[in-house]
Amino acid sequence: MIEIQNISKHFDKVVAVNKISLKVNNGEIFGLLGENGAGKTTTLRMLATMLKPTSGRAKLAGFDIIKDAEKVRGSIGILFGGETGLYDRLSCEENIAYFGQLNDMKTPEIKERIKVLSKAFGMDSYLKRRAGKLSKGMKQKVAFARSIIHNPDIMLFDEPTSGLDISSIRGVQEFIKNCKEEGKTIILSSHSMSEVEKLCDRVGIINKGSLVEYGTLEELKQKHSDEDLEEIFIKLVGGKNEH
Amino acid sequence: MNIKHIWIVLKKEAKDIIRDRKTIITSIVVPMLLIPLLNILVGGSISRLNYDMTENVTVALSKESNTEEIRELVENQIFNEFSNITLLDVDDHIEAIEKSTVRVVMDFDKDYKVKLEEGKPFVISLMYDRSQTKSQGSLHIVWDAIESFNKKIVAQRIEALGLNLNLLQPVQVEEYNVADDEKTSGSMLSMFLPLLIVILLSAGGIAPAVDLVAGEKERNTLEPLLTTKIGRSSLLVGKYLTVTLFSLITVIATMTGVLVGFFINPGSLTMGADATITGFTVPPAALLMAIVISITLGMTFAGIQIALSTYAKSFKEAQTYLSFLMMAAMIPGYATMFMQANEIPQYMFVLPVLNALSAFKEILTFNINNTNLVLALCSSLVYVIIALYLAASMFKKERILFRT
Ligand SMILES: Nc1ncnc2c1ncn2[C@@H]1O[C@H](COP(=O)(O)OP(=O)(O)O)[C@@H](O)[C@H]1O
Ligand SMILES: [Mg+2]
């Protein structure tokens, strides 16, 4: 479970996130929908304990992001959009194992887990090859495996499909669905309505750092008496933002 | 901070760097070959030049002076004890100098013979080309030969007068070098070794420091890393130790090159200049001190390098900052190159970089002053802490670490 209470983040005068509160239930996918610069990444970075909130608090899997930062990081996996962020000179196995080690897993445990993940993602044939020599699709699978090496209860996805080609987008969406099937609690940030509609149980719309609306798709449609999420979004965000 | 995490990071980063051929070449292979190669290229050509200048002196007579009689005088009385001088016969002596076939041309007074017999001075003009190093160098040798001919004639004349030659030389000078061979070697080494060590310590960390933070940011590998359980300080220390390790490896690689070069050709340390370095031994305690000070200096550079690499907006920017740092570190090295160890004021033992340079100089010249060395060591430790603090504060700044 993820519980966020009145969390804010200021960078000097810029209010990147403004008093957001929300709750994501176990096994649920929550979609964080917002334009560029709305504060999605900042919110997720605070949840991942990379940034300290200016005010407010949050708990992930029962751990406080300030008091139990290390335990929070031990229970989350993160996937970012764009580049996979693998070390080119390490083999796929070494890339994945490095994150396992840093998450305090023991060597036999890491080996066992890599075996399972390798089978699941079909990586057996290139597990020992250097990441720099792989195709985009292969790298992506390694990045998936790396993000769940420690089998976290919670997954955070920050615009995971931005800048990807269609088949890679498919791959990411499959991966998110699999995570849900495994019972993980998920936040997915996105600026794509269709992606959020397709994957998420509930949606929050974030604009200029504030959460302006949230609920299930049905709830939003009823409340705003509109069938189209995009229309609702434009209405709430005002449509006059840059981008 | 978590020792296990630090160790994991150090191992991974070292593995990553070792697999990078570019870094290995710039921080191990090049430093190792640098000194031996410089020695072969520069040292070889300097000693060849020296040899040519002193051992291969070619002289000709001007057209007017090129007579049987003068040739005989020159060969048998002036150059007879100078086997390194050869008298050549040329048609156009000016052209010969310009073309370097001869170094010096001698022109005798027309009535030299009469003057010589009458005991009057006569003139030998020496023509040379000042723009040619070899011509200029050879001039002195011909000059020496003529001087010794002068002395011979003077001696003959004095004796003919029935006087003692000692009359002409009331004082004789003899010189003694009080430094033993070791000290002489040490003072040669103390000129360039401290500078070399400082350059290497600051250069060796550049590639890893740029790669480990700015590179990691640019390749988007830093952010996923920060979502693992590792704390930011453990990550920083792991990276910091890797950078320190590679600065030291660079120094060790170069020193290995220097030592190998020294064993192959003992003159290599002075690049063929006219000095000899014999083997010498540093007291173990002083050697240990030098090693510890080197390590602390490496740690100081590593801290600053990590801080700058974190601050930089891109890989390129980090490279620029770190090159500037290296140049800044070289300035005190060059500035103190010719400073004598026993003349270094005490305050220099507490200034950054200068403290290490001064300590190295003292140790290499056996001018060891314990107070100074302890000052250098303590101040070095303070600088390590300051540099590490600087790196940590950069690493903690959200605006800098997550700058896009
Ligand atoms: N490290 C940082 N330093 C200063 N300002 C930042 C930093 N990160 C984000 N911001 C600012 O915070 C706001 C929200 O950014 P972000 O969370 O990245 O939005 P999103 O991910 O929704 O595009 C933007 O105005 C951005 O400029
Ligand atoms: Mg973002």
Residue A131 placed within a domain: yes
Residue closest to B82 by CA, chosen among B117, B118, B57, B115: B57
Nearest CA to A160 out of B161, B281, A174 is that of: A174
My answer on whether B59 and B30 are in the same domain is: no
Looking up tokens 């269609």, which residue turns up? A166
- What is B155-201 written as a DSSP string? HHHHHHTT--GGGG-S--------S-HHHHHHHHHHHHHHHHHHHHH
Dihedral angle over CA of B82, B88, B93, B95, nearest 10: -110
User: Mean of the pLDDT values across residues B331-336?
Assistant: 90
**Is the pLDDT reported for residue B92 higher than 80?**
yes
Report if residue A186 sits inside a domain: yes
Contact B16 A89 (CB under 8 A): yes
**Distance in Å, alpha carbon of B201 to nearest chain A alpha carbon:** 25
Structural domains in chain A (count): 1
Per-residue DSSP letter, B266: G
Check residue B402 and give its pLDDT: 85
**CATH number of the domain enclosing A189:** 3.40.50.300
Per-residue pLDDT, B332: 92
Query: Quick check: is B236 in a domain?
Result: yes
Same-domain pairing of B293 and B373: yes
Tokens 């305050």 belong to B347
d(CA A89, CA B381): 35
In a domain, B173, yes or no: no
Q: Alpha carbon B49 to chain centroid distance?
A: 18
In the prediction, which pLDDT does A237 show? 82
In a domain, B174, yes or no: no
Q: Which residue type sits at B154?
A: V
Say if B161 falls within a structural domain.
yes
Residue that is written with structure tokens 């008091």 in the block:
A67
What's the pLDDT tens digit per position in A181-233? Answer: 999 999 999 988 889 989 999 999 999 999 998 999 888 888 887 777 888 88
Give the ligand at the shortest distance from the Cα of A34.
1
Sign of CA dihedral A5, A10, A13, A16: negative
Determine the pLDDT at residue B279: 56
Expressed in angstroms and rounded, the spacing between residue B52 Cα and the centre of ligand 2 is 71
- For residue B267, the model assigns a pLDDT of 60
Nearest CA among A5, A12, A179, A166 for reference residue A79: A179
Of A52, A70, A101, the CB nearest to B231: A70
Residue B277 tokens, joined:
């370095």
Q: Is B185 a residue whose pLDDT tops 70?
A: no
B289 and B219 in a single domain? The answer is: yes
Among B128, B149, B168, give the residue marking a domain's end. B168
Residue B302 has pLDDT above 50, yes or no: yes
| In the predicted structure, residue B49 carries a pLDDT above the cut 80 | no
Give the domain-ending residue among B137, B168, B199.
Answer: B168
Range of the domain at B198: 3-46+179-401
pLDDT at B314: 93
Residues B230 and B147 in one domain: no
User: What integer is the mean pLDDT of B125-151?
Assistant: 87
Q: What is the pLDDT of residue B274?
A: 47
Task: State the first-to-last Cα distance of chain B, in angstroms, to the nearest integer.
Answer: 27
* Domain shared by B310 and B356, yes or no: yes
Ligand number, closest to the Cα atom of A81: 2
Distance CA A46, CA A64 (A): 11
Domain's final residue, options B112, B146, B168: B168
Task: Compute CA distances B257 → A192, B35, B165, whole Å.
Answer: 60, 6, 55
Is the residue at A242 inside a domain?
no
Going from the Cα of A112 to the center of ligand 2, the distance in angstroms, rounded, reads 34
- The one-letter amino acid at B364: L
Distances B367 to B233, B286, B372, B375 between C-alpha atoms, Å: 41, 11, 10, 15
B188 touches B270 (CB < 8 A) = yes
Is B375 inside any structural domain? yes
B209 and B90 part of one domain: no
Backbone angles phi, psi at A209, to 5 degrees: 90, -10
Name the residue of A12, A13, A14, A159 whose CB sits within 8 Å of the most ligand 1 atoms, as the mutation to test its pocket: A14
**Closest by CA position to B301, among listed B278, B269, B317, B323:** B323
Alpha-carbon gap, residue B255 to B260, rounded angstroms: 8
Which range of residues forms the domain containing residue A51?
2-22+29-237
Least confident among A16-20, A149-153, B33-37, B272-276? B272-276
Burial class of A71 by CB neighbour count within 10 A (0 to 12, 13 to 18, 19+): middle
List chain B residues with CB under 8 Å of A83.
Answer: 219-220
Of A146, A216, A152, residue with least CA distance to A184: A152
The answer to whether position A243 is within a domain reads no
Torsion angle (degrees, nearest 10) of CA B162, B164, B169, B175: 150
Interchain pair A70, B229: CB under 8 A: yes
**DSSP β-ladder status, A63-64 and A55-60:** antiparallel
| Tens-digit pLDDT string for chain A (243 aa) | 999 999 999 998 999 999 999 999 999 999 999 999 999 999 999 999 999 999 999 999 999 999 999 999 999 999 988 888 999 999 999 999 999 999 999 999 999 999 999 999 999 999 999 999 999 899 999 999 999 999 999 999 999 998 888 888 999 999 999 999 999 999 999 988 889 989 999 999 999 999 998 999 888 888 887 777 888 888 888 755 444
Whether B86 and B228 map to the same domain: the answer is no
- The minimum-distance atom of ligand 1 relative to the CA of A40 is 22
* Total domain count, chain B: 2
The stretch B357-371 carries a mean pLDDT of 87
Backbone phi, then psi, for B2, in 5-degree steps? -130, 110
Least confident of B198-212, B222-236, B249-263: B249-263
If asked whether residues B153 and B208 sit together in one domain, one would say no
From CA B338, how far away is CA B318, in angstroms rounded?
A: 33
Q: What is the pLDDT of residue B280?
A: 58
Of residues B144, B134, B126, B124, the one with CA closest to residue B81: B144
Cβ <8 Å between A147 and B224:
yes
Residues B161 and B191 in one domain: no
What's the pLDDT score for residue B209? 94
How far is the C-alpha of B48 from the C-alpha of B39, rounded, in Å?
A: 12
For chain A, what's the residue count? 243
Mutate to test the pocket of ligand 1, among A20, A33, A41 (most ligand atoms within 8 A of CB): A41
- Looking from the CA of A238 toward its CB, the CA atoms found within 13 Å total 8
- The conformation of residue A227, written as its DSSP 8-state character, comes to S
Let me know whether B212 and B334 are in one domain: yes
Tell me how far the alpha carbon of residue B400 lies from the centroid of ligand 1, in angstroms: 12
Closest-approaching ligand to the CA atom of A243? 1
Question: What percentage of chain B exceeds 90 in pLDDT?
Answer: 38
- Farthest-apart Cα atoms in chain B, separation: 103
Residue B268: pLDDT over 70: no
Strand A210-216 relative to strand A55-60, pairing: unpaired
Tell me the torsion sign for CA atoms B330, B335, B339, B343: negative
State residue B265's pLDDT score: 67
Q: Within this chain, do residues B234 and B203 fall inside the same structural domain, yes or no?
A: yes
What is the mean pLDDT of the segment spanning B67-75?
88
* Alpha helices (runs of H) in B85-132, residue ranges in sequence order: 93-98, 112-118
Ligand 1 pocket by Cβ (under 6 Å): A 11, 14, 16, 34, 36-42; B 398-399, 402-403
Task: Tell me the Cα Rg of chain B.
Answer: 31
Residues 6 or more apart whose Cβ sits within 8 Å of residue B153:
B116
pLDDT band at B272 (very low <50, low <70, confident <90, very high): very low
